[in-house]
Chain A
Amino acid sequence: MPVQTEFNLPLTVIKSKGYFIWKDLLMNIKKWFESEYYLFGETKHKYKPDEREVDVIGDRKLNEYVRYKIAVGIKVMGLKDVELIKDGKKITMQEGRVNINIAGTMLLDWQARFKGNKFLQAVQDFYHKYVIKQKIESEWLDHLGFKIYQLTKSINASLATTREGD
């Protein structure tokens, strides 16, 4: 049986209906990825007059063995520009239904050093099960989960949908 080198975290879903600034939402996600040293890339951008669909991905090599990937899928429906008065100033915002999915993946042995033969696979199996088991379960996966929580908070702030207690 092949050694597990890919660990997926549960999907985080944000749903919101209200006012937001579309450009700021995208820029905040980009800034968050860059501030956390992730390589940021947009893999899909779909534009319709009242609909947007954007997929972005952040990729970070944590060390020589561990790599994080965070994929964010944003879908906005019923999008329209609205003019609001905020602090006495007229501002243009967008209104619509936003659905954001955040998927986190941890990749081990991203340099494929243990790939090649059965002996190396057996060594890797031993390494995962007895040497770095604690690190995988309680350090790296927790760390990635916490980072996704932080990203979720940052997105919620952009959407102004903070919950009580945040």
Chain B
Amino acid sequence: MSNPIIKHRYADFGKDRVELAKYSVEYSDVFSMKTLYTLLHEWLVDEGYATRADEKFPEISYVQRENPALGKEIWVRWRLSKIPDPVSKLWRYDLDIDFHTLGLKEIEFIHKGAKMKADNGTLQIAVVANLIIDYEKAWANHPWLKTYKNLIVQKFLKTKLNFHKKVVMGDAIRFQEAVKTYLKIETYLETREFEEFHPKRPPE
């Protein structure tokens, strides 16, 4: 039996993977990990990156280490995909989200006369947004489409390609704004994600 080959899931895509956004948000102060986790899950469900079926949510890893002196360390990996046009089988939006918290400790505080719980520690959220072209390799395995795939995508479907690039980039930026709105960090867009309805980090 041959040894299994370990490779990156994008290794076969080459130029068919277009990286459109890569950023990280780091935060060290009081926040609620549970609320943030739930809010971002909601945002992704609302935007069509995941369904309400929790068992199908693409959380590929959740590692939690607890240390009474140092607090909790959590690693979470979400690998989300969205297929905007299932008929053409050509475009796929991928969002890779990594959470890492360090020294997370539960604290209690009084807010408007009520005792509330939150977390204090360091959080890092790293995001990479990719546009995948021909994600099922249907064109790459076709007898004659494989020869003209690049020409068709880069020349005849250029407008669509640019449209999908803008959508992926926009989604990544709005996700960043959603994280920053919850954490009450300065944002850039005129209309903030989660502005009115969703809670913000405590204390107000």
A interface vs B, CB < 8 Å? 22-23, 26-27, 30, 40-49, 53
Contacts and interface: CB of A to CB of B under 8 A. Distances in A.
A31 to B, nearest CB: 10
A30 B176 CA distance: 16
Given A41-B21, A42-B23, A47-B183, A26 B29 contact: no
A30 B188 CA distance: 8
Contacts of A48: 28-29
Contacts of A41: 21, 23, 173
B27 interface: yes
B14 to A, nearest CB: 13
A44 B185 contact: no
Given A27-B188, A42-B188, 4 more contacts: A23-B186, A43-B24, A45-B23, A47-B185
Nearest to B26: A46
Contacts of B26: 44-47, 53
B22 interface: yes
The DSSP consensus for interface residues of chain B is strand
B116 interface: no
B188 A26 contact: yes
Contacts of A44: 23-26
Interface size bucket, B side? 10 to 19
A17 to B, nearest CB: 20
A36 to B, nearest CB: 16
A44 to B, nearest CB: 5
A53 B27 CA distance: 10
A121 B172 CA distance: 36
8 contacts: A26-B186, A27-B188, A43-B23, A44-B23, A45-B25, A47-B26, A48-B29, A49-B28
Contacts of B186: 22-23, 26
Interface string B179-191: 0100101101000
Contacts of B183: 47
Contact of B29 (A42, A43, A45, A47): A47
Interface in B149-204: 173, 176, 180, 183, 185-186, 188
Contacts of A53: 26
Interface in B23-39: 23-29
Most chain A beta carbons < 10 A, residue from B25, B27, B188: B188
Most chain A beta carbons < 10 A, residue from B21, B24, B29: B24
Nearest to A39: B169
Contacts of B28: 47-49
Nearest to B177: A42
Contacts of B23: 41-45
A102 to B, nearest CB: 18
Nearest to A40: B188
A45 B185 contact: yes
10 nearest A-B residue pairs (beta carbon): A46-B26, A48-B28, A47-B27, A43-B23, A45-B25, A23-B186, A47-B185, A30-B188, A44-B24, A26-B186
